Amino acid sequence: MTETVDFAYDPFDAQVMADPLPYYRTLRDEYPLYYMPQWDTFALSRFEDIWQVLEVNDGTFVASEGTLPPTTVLAKHNTGPVEDPPLHPLPFHAVFDADLYGEIRRSHSAPLRPRSVAGLADRIRTLANERLDLLLPRGSFDLTQEYGGIVAASMVCGLLGLPDDLAPQVLAAVNAGSLAEPGVGVEVAAARPNYLGFLTPVVERRRADASGDALPVVDGLLGYRLPDGTALTDTEAATQMLCIFIGGTETVPKIVAHGLWELSKRPDQLAAVRADPATNVPLAREEMIRYCAPAQWFARTVRKPYTIHDKTIEPGQRIITLLASANRDEREYPQPDEFIFDRPIKRSLAFGRGQHFCIGYHLARLEIDVLLTEWLRRVPDYAIHSDAAKRLPSSFQWGWNNIPVEV
Ligand code: HEM
């Protein structure tokens, strides 16, 4: 199904970037498999379709052109399957097919496994309370950036071996990197040398001196050997750390601040969550993730023919999975545009599914729990200045960057 005279969807269109939600509804209802000839790409918008596609794990879908290709990549149309890139210099591992991708992912994800993450609760709580000690006496501040933003960025600094006092700079760099110009998209990691400016020195320092506290993300990458027996260079290791740097920094704060805003619009729900935080914060967390998660879509390039909705997608063509549309699919969630803190959520695509399932899943949920719990415990009343809140247009992270709050 392609565009009609009346309807056209393009994730890089300025109007779509300013508010994609009405487009998603039309896509789900009328064009569940929507073809964009300019990008040779199909958009999938229904929960069930995306659930099925992301489950396929046999090399049919590979993120060979990146999970977030900009228009410069999509404008080039492939005439057949896109093979894995050469090993040297090693690009970001997510572009490889399962084996190599999985090995590199496993090599540096130990601190994000459930048991390791559980040990981070106290640190998150300390960071949250340090922020509140500083912010509450001020009376008004930016709930996204100054509360959760600094906490999440500090956690990323800890994971990646950056000093804590770099957290504000990390946060600012990641926020700037997610902005997207209409018609362009978000440039690939390689176009953000300032990120590597943070990460490469960490790898260099660690290689020169591996004493001191454990640094499993960096150590795992330095200890890893490619199938040809070679080790990663400093830049190659730093490149593999980009996704934690980005994914760990900006999603959680936007969800927490936006979620607290939604609660404040519904005093009965806010009162219910406050009344029993141990039970209700985890429920509210899941609804906040569904309702507020800012990432819009991720891409895969098709390597083997795949048929869906009676159409065969050919090798070299791409699909984008509109996760933000799946989160609002009325076929999965009744009244999807309502925020209902304790709605049953049986299945979720907010963290993706299958091979590329978010490696920060456990940490993200713990951070959100702690940030919400400490906020509700210490802030008896708060009001959001909705007129001054800012949600910048983006084809990638369409989230509330700034939410001024008064306490
Ligand atoms: C609520 C917060 C978060 C949400 C909603 C979220 C969502 C996602 C989604 C949807 C993907 C899949 C992308 C794809 O299919 O291509 C993903 C991947 C990823 N996320 Fe998260 N994320 C969150 C927090 C985090 C945190 C805290 C970290 C790290 C500390 C993180 C690190 C990553 C990484 C490294 C990947 C890439 C996985 C791969 O391709 O192997 N995320 N995330």
Reported as a single tens digit per residue, the pLDDT across 344-366 is 999 999 999 999 999 999 999 99
Residue 186: which residues within 8 A CB-CB, separation 6 or more? 68, 70, 177, 178, 179, 180, 394, 395, 396
Cα 18 to middle of ligand 1, angstroms:
23
CB 110 within 8 A of CB 116: yes
pLDDT class of 191 with cuts at 50, 70, 90: very low
Instruction: Report how far ligand 1's centroid is from the alpha carbon of 357 (Å).
Output: 7
- How many Å apart are CA 83 and CA 62, to the nearest integer? 9
- On the question of a cis peptide bond just before residue 168, with omega within 30 degrees of 0, the verdict is no
Q: How many angstroms does the Cα of residue 250 sit away from the middle of ligand 1?
A: 11
Q: Where exactly are the structural domains of the chain?
A: 14-406
Gap between the Cα atoms of 83 and 86, Å rounded? 9
* Residue identifier of the C-alpha nearest atom 41 of ligand 1: 356
Give yes or no for residue 291 having a pLDDT over 80: yes
Quote the CATH superfamily of domain 14-406: Cytochrome P450 (1.10.630.10)
The single-letter DSSP state of residue 32 is S
| Cα–Cα distance for residue pair 346/299, rounded to 1 Å | 25
Residue of 47, 57, 81, 9 whose CA lies nearest to 321: 47
Q: State whether the Cα torsion 186-190-194-197 is positive or negative.
A: positive
Q: DSSP code of 382?
A: -
Rounded distance from Cα 385 to ligand 1 centre (Å) = 29
User: What separation, in Å, do the N-terminal and C-terminal C-alpha atoms of the chain show?
Assistant: 50
Site of tokens 């590199």: 104
Q: Which residues contact 173 (CB under 8 A, 6 or more apart)?
A: 194, 195, 198
- Give the pLDDT band of residue 176 (cuts 50, 70, 90): confident
Ligand 1 test: best mutation among 93, 358, 362, 368, most atoms within 8 Å of CB? 358
Q: What is the DSSP letter of 87?
A: S
Q: How far apart are CA 306 and CA 361, in angstroms?
A: 29
- Distance from residue 140's CA to the centre of ligand 1 (Å): 31
Contact criterion met (CB below 8 Å) for 180 and 393: yes
Q: What is the pLDDT of residue 1?
A: 52
395: pLDDT confidence band, cut at 50, 70 and 90? confident
pLDDT at 72: 93
Cα–Cα distance for residue pair 176/333, rounded to 1 Å: 33
Three-class SS of residue 249? Answer: helix
Q: Is 85:202 a contact under the CB 8 Å cutoff?
A: no
Q: State which H helix or E strand residue 298 sits in.
A: strand 298-302
Residue 300 parent element (H or E):
strand 298-302
For the record, the structure tokens of 260 come out as 């607290």
- Is the CB of residue 376 less than 8 Å from the CB of residue 277? yes
Size (the chain), residues: 407
Mean pLDDT of 383-397: 92
Percent of the chain with pLDDT over 90: 91
Distance CA 188, CA 138 (A): 38
Q: How close is the Cα of 304 to the center of ligand 1, in Å?
A: 25
Q: Which residue has the tokens 């899941």?
A: 286
Per-residue pLDDT averaged across 100-121, rounded? 97
Q: How confident is the model at residue 192 (pLDDT cuts 50, 70, 90)?
A: low
pLDDT score recorded for residue 193: 64
Name the closest-CA residue to atom 36, ligand 1.
358
CA distance 360 to 248: 7
Which tokens hold the place of 266? 């519904």
What per-residue confidence (pLDDT) applies to 340? 98
Residue 97 has pLDDT above 90, yes or no: yes
How far is CA 59 from each of CA 137, 147, 300, 389, rounded to the nearest angstrom?
54, 41, 11, 42
Query: In the predicted model, what is the mean pLDDT of residues 250-262?
Result: 97
Residue 116 in tokens: 């390791």
Residues within a 6 A CB radius of ligand 1: 67, 94, 105, 243-244, 247-248, 251-252, 255, 289, 293, 295, 298, 323, 350-352, 356, 358-360, 363-364
Q: Which atom of ligand 1 is nearest to the CA of 300?
A: 16
